[in-house]
Amino acid sequence: MQEGMGFTPQLTASSIAQILWLIPAVPMVASGVIALLKQPARKLASTLAIGSLAVSLLLALVAFGHVLSGWSHGFSVRETVNFVWLPMGTGTVDLGWVLDPLSAVMLVMVTLVGLLIFIYSTGYMAHDENYTRFFCFLSLFAGAMLGVVIANSLLLLFMNWEIVGLTSYLLIGFWYQKPSAAAAAKKAFITTRVGDIFFLLGIVWLFAQTGTLLFYNHGGGALEPDGISAMLAGKAAMGLSAATAIGLLIFAGAAGKSGQLPLHVWLPDAMEGPTPVSALIHAATMVAAGVYLVARVYPLMAAGGTLSQGGAVAGSTTTALTVVTWVGASTAVFAALIAVAQNDIKRILAYSTVSQLGYMMAGLGMGGVAVGMFHLITHAFFKALLFMGAGSVIHGCHEEQDIRRMGGLRTEMPVTFATYAIGMLALSGFPLLFSGFWSKDAILASAHDWHSGRGPFYLLVFGALLTAFYMTRQVCYVFFGEYRGHGHAHESPRVMTAPLRILALFAIGLGIVGTPAWPWFQAFLEDHPAALEFARFNEPGFWPLIATSTLVVFLGLGLGWWFYGNKSPRAEEADAVERVAPTVWGWLRDRLYVDELYGVTVVAFYAWWARVADWLDRRVWGGIVAAVTTAFRGLAHFDRFFDQQFVDGGFDKGCEEIYTGGGLLARVQTGRVQHYLRLLAVAVVVLAAILIWSSPR
């Protein structure tokens, strides 16, 4: 573990760390209770869910405060509580949880955003008949996510990871009556599974290498120097060290969860789920889980490279991080490109999410934990804001999702518009004012002075341009021009708009904790004291960078406005960009044919393989089974014969004997009370006589 500036690690687990497990446990229990509720118990269900998450939020805040105080007193707080879960042979499999800056920050973020989303859902799902089921899933999801966050053991993390996957499946397929929703759920589940397989392999391999699954265990953990060196010692194919291989495997899992390039296909389809779900899963928490995982195992990723203070790899980077970086960067651009040509309001956001996740990955790869996590946090807030804004738009337009059938909502839904605009500006990184700008800027900065090549930098800048462009496009479509949808749009209820306002505040305000001038957040994550020094502004190449990103953003906004500003195109007529470059537009609209590609390759292969297996089943195994069956039936026939002839026969004989015997005895049972009484009396006489004669005189 990193020890900068003579920070002394604090080892003893404090009371709050002891009860840290409550944070995930409370919502899980709540979901269990809700699962037992009857369908009409709506109010109770939502109250339970929200209340439980509020409790978790309080606990998380306490934990955060604890870490904060420890940090400000110059400790690097990392408190772990481990216990033996499964002793096997000589070794044991331990589970445990950890409280350190990383998990503390994540805890606060997840609980806070989650709580807001819960409140929002009470309004959004108000008319759904399966309200209680929804909240059951929601709180189960929240619990699992929190479990992922606090896990100090890869295994525990993986368990919660899988629960998260399951709940996301349940939630995406919440409206399972819709075939598309069911399909989307299946797709999400399977696609993430692909990643998880690699993840599991990585876990096993790691266990084989280090003999423990704990991250930190007072020097005995996998991520502590001994474990790292143990993994570095191991060798994998192609001259890679085991550490790198494991890192890549785990990254594959992360990529699956947070929709990185090869495995991103499920995320856009997952928009079939209810909007709060999209906000919860695809903005704030689940997809962030991947990023969080990479951040969590960052020491492993960075293994081999020389660690500077703050854990960012100085000098020559490592293979794993390079991969992460390139995947992230390409995902960012790729998804942004697709997002340009989508018409479904939520799909656009989904693709933007994918690209933003790409940013985070790239940030992790190049700038270290702090950079990536900072963007994760800010993004979580404004993307949740955007999704929920989209939700309220959809709500207001009578479940219409096609942006070409909206427009002019600026006047009908002022609150939504204002908050949405804030979110959009934050996302596209409007200079100085919004949090998105600072986090993205940090990533760009780290990309700019990355040692192995400028490629990612250019990609990311282009991505930023696109981001600004498609967000502008969307906003123009939705809020400007005149209303083109059916019916009359209306503003959403307070219970939905209130969370929007709060999130909007965060979207603006959160930037200040991470400005280059006062990199408090980074400092907090990297365990060295934060200092306010404007000197950083004068570093060479700082202003140019700011200027570039600002320029890019304005360019994107301007282009967007120029194409779409205030002219409200009908649904049937061609899109503005389409008129310019039809072919490109076609590709983009069809999402660069990735799905189709998978369709003809992977899916087709599996289908063929399934047919083969089917043939095997029917012909070969089926034949064998049939043969065995006939043999047994023959045996059974013989058996029956034997039974009927000998066993039954003998038994019947015996029964007859007993029956006749009983008949004889039954004669005594005359059914007359007095006869019984008579026998009794005779017995008395005999008994008394015996007593008298036997008694000594």
Among the residue ranges 38-46, 189-197, 415-423, 658-666, the one whose residues contact other proteins (CB under 8 A): 658-666
Residue 672 makes contact with other proteins by CB under 8 A: yes
Query: 331 Cβ partners below 8 Å, 6+ apart?
Result: 259, 260, 261, 264, 354, 355, 357, 358, 361
Nearest partner of 374 among 545, 530, 546, 521, judged by Cα: 521
Spell out, one character per residue from 356 to 375, where the chain touches other proteins: x when CB under 8 A holds, - when not: --------------------
Q: How far is the CB of 686 from other proteins (least distance, A)?
A: 9
Which region among 384-392, 418-426, 629-637, 687-695 touches other proteins (by CB under 8 A)? 687-695
- Decide: helix, strand or coil at residue 344: strand
d(CA 679, CA 539): 119
Containing 44, the helix (H) or strand (E) segment is helix 42-72
Q: Any idea which residue has 């996590």 for tokens?
A: 373
Residue 665 in contact with other proteins, rule: CB under 8 A: yes
User: Nearest distance from residue 653's CB to other proteins, in Å?
Assistant: 23
Q: Does 682 bind other proteins (CB under 8 A)?
A: yes
Q: Which is nearer to other proteins, 602 or 685 (CB)?
A: 685
Point out which span in 35-43, 93-101, 605-613, 663-671 binds other proteins (CB under 8 A): 663-671
Q: Give me the least distance between CB of 682 and other proteins, in Å please.
A: 6
Nearer to other proteins, 15 or 669 (CB): 669
Verify binding: residue 671, other proteins, rule CB under 8 A: yes
- Indicate whether 667 belongs to the interface with other proteins (CB under 8 A): yes
Q: What is the separation, in whole angstroms, between the first and last Cα of the chain?
A: 102
Kindly state the smallest distance separating residue 657's Cβ from other proteins, in Å. Answer: 17
Q: In this structure, what are the phi and psi dihedrals at residue 81, rounded to the nearest 5 degrees?
A: -125, 110
Nearer to other proteins, 177 or 669 (CB): 669
Q: Does 658 bind other proteins (CB under 8 A)?
A: no
3-state secondary structure 422-456: HHHHHHCCCCCCCHHHHHHHHHHHHHHCCCCCCHH
d(CA 556, CA 558): 5
Q: How far is the CB of 85 from other proteins (least distance, A)?
A: 54
Report the distance separating Cα 648 and Cα 674, nearest Å: 42
Interface with other proteins includes 36 (CB under 8 A)? no
677 near other proteins (CB under 8 A) = yes
Cβ nearer to other proteins, comparing 643 with 656: 656
Contact segment (CB under 8 A) with other proteins among 342-350, 585-593, 650-658, 659-667 equals 659-667
Q: Which is nearer to other proteins, 613 or 683 (CB)?
A: 683
On whether the CB atoms of residues 323 and 254 are closer than 8 A, the answer is no
Over the window 158 to 177, marking each residue x when it contacts other proteins by CB under 8 A and - when it does not, the resulting string is --------------------
- Contact predicate 356/290, CB 8 Å: no
User: Using CB under 8 A, which of the segments 73-81, 128-136, 369-377, 665-673 binds other proteins?
Assistant: 665-673
Supply 239's token pair.
Answer: 């001259």
User: Is there binding between residue 696 and other proteins (CB under 8 A)?
Assistant: no
The C-alpha angle with vertex 374 and arms to 71 and 443, in degrees rounded to 5, equals: 125
**Could you give phi then psi for residue 91, rounded to 5 degrees?**
-90, 175
Burial class (CB in 10 A: 0-12, 13-18, 19+), 109: buried
Query: Shortest distance, CB of residue 40 to other proteins, whole angstroms?
Result: 33
Residue 76 pairs with which residues in a beta bridge? 9
3-state helix, strand, coil split of the chain in percent (to 5) is 75, 5, 20
Interface with other proteins, residue 694, by CB under 8 A:
no
Q: Decide if residue 681 touches other proteins (CB under 8 A).
A: yes
Applying CB under 8 A, does 684 fall inside the site for other proteins?
yes
Residue 128: count other Cβ atoms within 10 Å of its Cβ: 15
Whose structure tokens read 């983009």? 588
Amino acid identity for residue 682 in this structure:
V
Type of residue numbered 600: V
674 interacts with other proteins by CB under 8 A: yes
Judged by CB under 8 A, which stretch of 105-113, 372-380, 441-449, 684-692 contacts other proteins?
Answer: 684-692
Q: Which is nearer to other proteins, 631 or 683 (CB)?
A: 683
> Where does this chain bind other proteins (CB under 8 A)?
662, 665-675, 677-678, 681-682, 684-685, 688-689, 692
